[in-house]
Structure 1
Amino acid sequence: MIEKIIIYCLLFAFSIQRTDSILAFRRFNIEISNHLEGNKQLMVQCRSGVNSTQVVFLAFSGVFKFPIILDFKTLIWCNLWKGPDFKQHVSFDAFVGKESFIHDVCGSMKPNVCFWQAQDDGIWVRNNPTGDLKLMYKWNT
């Protein structure tokens, strides 16, 4: 019986190493900041496979924070609408629970934040620890 348990544990450990699951059960945060000119509001709603946030209206320099605990299939996508008429919209993957996304888009696991910033020309991401922003998405009209 003990041998079977050891074999199952080894198989489980091996399967973890073969995926991005080393990230599993770690805490992470998605932050979306409103930097639209002219004190325009930003409407935000994010979703995962099972949860959806309430629609939030952010004032200029406001920040929407969405804490998550990573699992094997974490995917968070967000919809943003640009005020004042909220006709300009963008939908994007704000977080994908893969090491490549965390490093290539979010900049790394430190400080455990994938930071997005809405500006008049589009949605920017801070994709490195120094805080430089990179334009990722343009507004749909």
Structure 2
Amino acid sequence: MIDNAYGANLLKGEKTTLYFRNGLSYKKWLKVHCKSGNDDMGVHYLKPGGIDYTFSVHDNVFGGTLIWCTLSKGPDYKVSSRFDAYKQNKDKPHGKSYNYLAKDDGIYHSNLVEFKLHKKFDWK
């Protein structure tokens, strides 16, 4: 990667931060595994009431940044939901922050454009 004189990378686009929180009841743990075409962010286990799992990505200046995640719960983490957590869209503002809250009935989402949490995905 090439940096300009001020230290900013010329090949990096906008930065987006993704936050994942365990809002499951009854002391259930949450498993989070996110990937992109180039990177595997690894498997992370979130305990109930514990700290969020957070990471940031930079958009590809040529477009096409996509992050997909699988969130799993239950005995042996057999109940899950796989979804596109972030998909770059140059024509639509996204607020630079994507927040996901796992609850017993599904996965909720908000960002800096849409502040209110709304249910986005069901468990399967």
Structure 2 length as normaliser, TM-score?
Answer: 0.80
The answer (yes or no) to whether the contact 2:18–2:99 under 8 Å persists in 1 is yes
Q: Once the two structures are aligned, what percentage of the paired residues are identical?
A: 30
Instruction: Give unmatched runs, 5+ long, in structure 2.
Output: 1-11
Match of 1:41 among 3, 25, 29: 29
> Which consecutive segments of 4 or more residues in structure 1 shift more than 6 A?
none
> Structure 1: which amino acid aligns with 2:72?
W
Task: List gaps (5 residues or longer) in structure 1.
Answer: 1-23
The one-letter code sitting in structure 1 at the alignment partner of 2:55 is F
Larger Rg: 1
Higher helix share: 1
Q: Distance in 2 between matches of 1:41 and 1:99?
A: 35
Aligned with 1:132: secondary structure? coil
Q: Give the one of 46, 51, 74 matched to 2:65.
A: 74
Q: What's the TM-score once normalised by structure 1's chain length?
A: 0.71
Which stretch shifts more, 34-43 or 54-63? Answer: 54-63
Say if 1:74 and 1:97, in contact at 8 Å, map to a contact too: yes
| Distance apart, 1:26 and its partner CA | 1.2
Structure 2 CA distance, aligned partners of 1:69 and 1:130?
A: 21
CA contact (8 A) 1:43 1:83 kept: no
What SS does the aligned partner of 1:53 have?
A: strand
Distance 1:131 1:54 in 2: 28
Distance in 2 separating the partners of 1:83 and 1:66: 24
Match status 1:55 vs 2:43: yes
Asked if the contact 2:107–2:119 (Cα under 8 Å) also holds between the matched residues in 1, the reply is yes
- Deviation at residue 85 of structure 1 after TM alignment: 3.0
Q: Once the 2 structures are TM-superposed, how far is the Cα of residue 128 of structure 1 from its aligned partner?
A: 5.4
Deviations 1:33-85 (A, max 9, x none): 11001121000100000100111100113311121011111000001111343
- Asked if structure 1 preserves the Cα contact closer than 8 Å seen for 2:97 and 2:112, the reply is no
**Partner Cα distance (2:43, 2:69) in 1:** 11
Residues in 1 aligned to 2:123 and 2:98: alpha-carbon distance in whole angstroms: 20
The CA distance in 2 between the partners of 1:25 and 1:130, in whole Å, is: 22
Q: Does 1:121 align with 2:105?
A: yes
Structure with the larger strand share: 2
